[in-house]
Chain A
């Protein structure tokens, strides 16, 4: 299943990560995972929360520019070659990966989760679900993290 991810524009300068995190903290929003992509002048902060629409509102009312986009969480075996196997399947299906990041490897009995952003999330989802790769549902992904 596809998962909603929140992306935020941040300038490459001291303090620019703190403001969004403080705004979300004040609203009681828990960051489940996050990743930062950066260039020499700006960055994109991407994160997964339980209620991305509310988080977007919180950030926008703090004057920031945020966007909700769709990503695909994929299960990966937490052992050498686990990710390579999944990437081979993605490659074989001819899917383009924009970026990916870890959802946190510690949980779920030896299985890790990797968040993928594909050029075409719907096509990717169809191909992956039909193949040997296990796409996680947001329920199993998010409920694991409540403990």
Chain B
């Protein structure tokens, strides 16, 4: 018997696009690109006026390379046209709306037709299959259910896969751990920082989660060293999944068993890497800002959407056999960056520095202050049983090693402060790493 999430050779049609020969894939992409550009041009005012400014029509797109002639879409466009200005389908055809949390001002709203939801479930099924999750697995979905796309996106993908989905949503750590142990959970979906929180609590509560085999972690950047820690301490395989609501939600790209970059589901999402300053398209392998075009989206096509995520495209074939190109794991978002004393700093760089010093788990917080006109950066690091010493000088030496490691990477003197365990804010969703107290 063959099911559609079997490995190559025995797979059913749903994972088949992962293995399309490249020329055939390019044919699918071009046809879909022409169709989505036509749809956006015909139905979305903002997009048509920007095309007209450039004297472009849908007929201008004769090859995939012509995509570089199209205008970019940015997050501000979604805000400026709030709530429904970028919709390309009448409300009668729209069956779902999601919205971002919108920390400043209005949220952004995204829409789905039934066909869009089907594509979303399909790419989630292909994502789960790439992570080795099968029919028979019990998936605990600890992403938030609601306006956030993480919860429902994972949910319907898991059901379409034929796995058992537990829609536990985020929060309530004790209940999460009880369910994990009692229901024999084999796969978990949540943010990586929340999984670290669960791991810590499981140790304290002496909860057995030995049946857990796979974690599908996303919605925030996390490093390879953080993955090593997670896998060593928990014994599970930890996979990175990528997505954003503006494009569809989770399931834009995912790691396979090789864990060397995330395959982008290129038959639905066309990736480009650009120089964020000039907007120029960069060749495969160069680092820059990821730009995505939705090739099959109906309700809200996104043409050349600037994700602000910094990565590069890996064009070399993957050992897993998928022909889909990969992107390097996203270590940073260009808007997570902060500038201190003229130096551009990404929280992921601080994380790398902390992890280089042996025994330091990445529970940390960056606090920026301004003293007498000079910016100060303090990194608060929680003390763990592994690094705690009875001797002051050893703890001070640890502080100095951490400071030296950060200075080594950033070229910036910072102050490291050791704090008591479990005192830094643990969000049950995304980790908040930077507190900026400067009144700039």
Contact = CB atoms under 8 A, between A and B. Distances in A.
Contact of A65 (B383, B391, B396, B417): B383
B420 A67 contact: no
Contact of A7 (B390, B421, B422, B423): B390
A33 B422 CA distance: 27
B418 A63 contact: no
B74 interface: no
Nearest to A70: B390
B400 to A, nearest CB: 12
A26 B295 CA distance: 63
A42 B389 CA distance: 12
A11 interface: yes
11 contacts: A5-B390, A7-B390, A9-B418, A11-B418, A11-B419, A42-B418, A44-B395, A63-B204, A63-B422, A65-B384, A65-B385
A66 B419 CA distance: 13
Contacts of B420: 9-11, 16, 64-65
A39 B391 CA distance: 11
Interface in A20-58: 37, 39, 41-42, 44, 46
A20 B244 CA distance: 44
A61 interface: yes
A46 B423 contact: no
A67 to B, nearest CB: 6
B392 interface: yes
A67 B388 CA distance: 8
A10 B396 CA distance: 14
Contacts of B391: 44, 98
Nearest to B421: A65
Which range contains the number of B residues in contact with the other chain?
A: 10 to 19
Contacts of A39: 392, 396
A90 to B, nearest CB: 18
Contacts of A7: 388, 390
A65 B398 CA distance: 16
Most buried by B among A65, A98, A117: A65
Given A16-B420, A65-B421, A9 B392 contact: no
Contacts of A61: 204
A60 to B, nearest CB: 8
Given A16-B420, A39-B392, A67-B389, 16 more contacts: A5-B390, A7-B388, A9-B388, A41-B418, A42-B417, A42-B418, A42-B419, A44-B392, A44-B395, A46-B390, A60-B204, A61-B204, A63-B421, A63-B422, A65-B388, A98-B391
Interface residues of A, number: 22
Nearest to B385: A65
Contacts of B418: 9, 11, 41-42
Interface of A is mostly: strand
Nearest to B422: A63
Interface in A103-140: 117
B428 to A, nearest CB: 17
Nearest to A71: B390
A66 B384 CA distance: 9
A18 B419 CA distance: 16
Nearest to B395: A42
Contacts of A41: 417-418
A97 to B, nearest CB: 12
Given A9-B383, A65-B384, A37 B392 contact: yes
B426 to A, nearest CB: 12
Interface in B412-440: 417-423
Interface in A51-96: 60-61, 63-67, 69
Most buried by B among A9, A42, A44: A9
Contacts of A9: 383, 388, 395, 418, 420-421
A12 to B, nearest CB: 9
A69 B390 CA distance: 7
B421 A64 contact: yes
A11 B150 CA distance: 37
Contacts of B417: 41-42
Given A37-B392, A98-B391, A67 B204 contact: no
Contacts of A10: 420
